[in-house]
Amino acid sequence: MSTQKQFTNPRAKHGFRGRTCSIISVGSYVPEKVITNADLEKMVETSDEWITTRTGIKERHIAGEKEFTSDMAAKAALRAMQRGNITPDQIDLIIVATITPDMPFPATACLVQHRIGARRAAAFDVEAACSGFIYALEIGQQFITSRTYETVLVIGAEKLSSIVDWKDRNTCVLFGDGAGAAILQHRPDAHGLLTACMGAEGDKAELLCMPGGGSRCPATPESVASGLHFLRMDGKETFKNAVIAMCTAGQEALRRCDLDISRIKCVIPHQANRRIIDAVGDRLGIKPDQVFVNLDKYGNTSAASVAIALDEAVQQRRIQRGDLVLMVVFGAGLTWAAAVIEW
Ligand code: ACO
């Protein structure tokens, strides 16, 4: 029998009497079309060398003109459902995290509900930018642990190519499209989602935003001509804030579970920039073989980023049942979050 100290389930520590919530299966989807750094060299003044050394990104997948966020979300969801043996009528709730919904309303989750035939499911979207998937996981688990629902489908999905200015070399090299999905249920043999720390700093909203298209600046010919419907970012400030927030959130999540980083089998950070991941890894004492990185293939897919990475880590058997997983994310808002999961 193992003599290793067990972790603390913070929800139980605080007198929680409900059920646990586990991720029973995952799935992901990325579009077929790939844009490499060499392709970008033909579109803007940049180089493979600049993009690789500053970001670690080599290529990104880009959705077709007629392929939307809901299409990618539905494909990722169907893969997760197939792996978990979940039928559409079992799903009670669909939560889609996205900053690139098919349209301002209705929610992309409703469109996904229709696409996958989950007629019984309630459906809504969550907007927390790159932190959206962990925000949505934490919301979903509340419905499971409170016994409100049996099966929740959580999806992170983005068509960032639709809000990127392909003439702006500062941003167009960074982003990609895709979707990742997870099915949540109670599993009696696992603690599942042990904790999720979430935070926001709204006074830094301007660092990373899309100014046009909302009630503050509805679409007009002038707003379109001024590029207000493209994503804008202060890269340097975003970078600094990302490192601080991801470290703080990661440390807090581990502290809540009385866990040392050495106990974590796999760390899944937001896949925005290799240098951000390395800086967070150094500060948290994460060994290179603990961290999962796939941003070289996909770039930053915002809310889909850790969802796709989680699916790949599971398919590659980097994560197996019983392993402890730490996910840490950061995004526009500013928002951040970290989650510890007993897989
Ligand atoms: N190719 C070549 N040169 C470029 C490119 C490019 N693609 N992009 C910018 N440059 C130039 C700039 O014009 C600038 O030139 P100048 O000095 O002559 O004005 C110079 O490179 C900028 O250099 P730095 O500012 O030193 O670049 P830095 O090392 O900060 O890297 C980067 C920029 C990659 C954007 C970095 O700041 C970063 O990754 N920031 C975080 C971004 C991020 O993670 N955003 C997502 C958050 S999540 C979400 O919610 C979407």
**108-142 residue pLDDT tens:** 999 999 999 999 999 999 999 999 999 999 999 99
pLDDT at 4: 57
Question: b/e string for 187-208 if b means 16 or more Cβ within 10 A?
Answer: beebbbbbbbbbbbeeebeebb
- Cβ atoms of 71 and 115 closer than 8 Å: yes
Choose among 225, 200, 230, 194: nearest CA to 212: 230
Binned at pLDDT 50, 70 and 90, residue 14 comes out as: low
Q: Is the CB of 148 under 6 A from ligand 1?
A: no
SS (H, E, C) 277-304: HHHHHHHHCCCHHHECCCHHHHCECHHH
Work out the mean pLDDT of the chain and round it to a whole number. 95
Cα–chain center distance at 85: 23
Specify the higher pLDDT residue, 11 or 296. Answer: 296
Q: Candidates 239, 241, 334: which one to mutate for ligand 1, based on the most atoms within 8 Å of Cβ?
A: 239
pLDDT at 274: 97
268: tokens are 């899944």
Choose among 102, 34, 95: nearest CA to 67: 102
Q: Is the CB of 281 under 6 A from ligand 1?
A: no
Q: Candidates 273, 277, 328, 330: which one to mutate for ligand 1, based on the most atoms within 8 Å of Cβ?
A: 273
The answer, yes or no, to whether residue 228 has pLDDT greater than 50, is yes
At residue 195, the 3 state secondary structure works out as strand
- The structure's pTM equals 0.94
Ligand 1 atom 10: the closest Cα is on which residue?
Answer: 170
Q: Is the CB of 127 under 6 A from ligand 1?
A: no
Binned at pLDDT 50, 70 and 90, residue 13 comes out as: low
Summarize the confidence of residues 269-284 as an average pLDDT: 97
Choose among 269, 274, 254: nearest CA to 324: 254
Q: Where are the domains of the chain?
A: 10-185, 193-342
Report in angstroms the alpha-carbon separations of 155 from 101, 181, 213.
12, 4, 24
- 165 Cα: distance to centroid of ligand 1 (angstroms): 14
**Known catalytic residue at 130:** yes
- 236 Cα: distance to centroid of ligand 1 (angstroms): 7
Number of other residues whose CB lies within 10 A of the CB of residue 3: 4
73: tokens are 């979300």
pLDDT at 2: 47
* Model confidence pLDDT, tens digit, residues 325-336: 999 999 999 999
Under CATH, which number does the domain 10-185 receive? Answer: 3.40.47.10
Q: Is the CB of 303 under 6 A from ligand 1?
A: no
Report in angstroms the alpha-carbon separations of 39 from 48, 111, 160, 210, 272.
9, 33, 18, 25, 20
- Cβ atoms of 162 and 192 closer than 8 Å: no
Q: Is the CB of 37 under 6 A from ligand 1?
A: no
Q: Is the CB of 274 under 6 A from ligand 1?
A: no
The answer, yes or no, to whether residue 48 has pLDDT greater than 50, is yes
Q: Is the CB of 331 under 6 A from ligand 1?
A: yes
The answer, yes or no, to whether residue 17 has pLDDT greater than 60, is no
Whole-angstrom Cα Rg for the chain = 19
- 217 Cα: distance to centroid of ligand 1 (angstroms): 26
**Known catalytic residue at 61:** no
**Known catalytic residue at 300:** yes
Q: Could you say which architecture CATH assigns to the domain 193-342?
A: 3-Layer(aba) Sandwich (3.40)
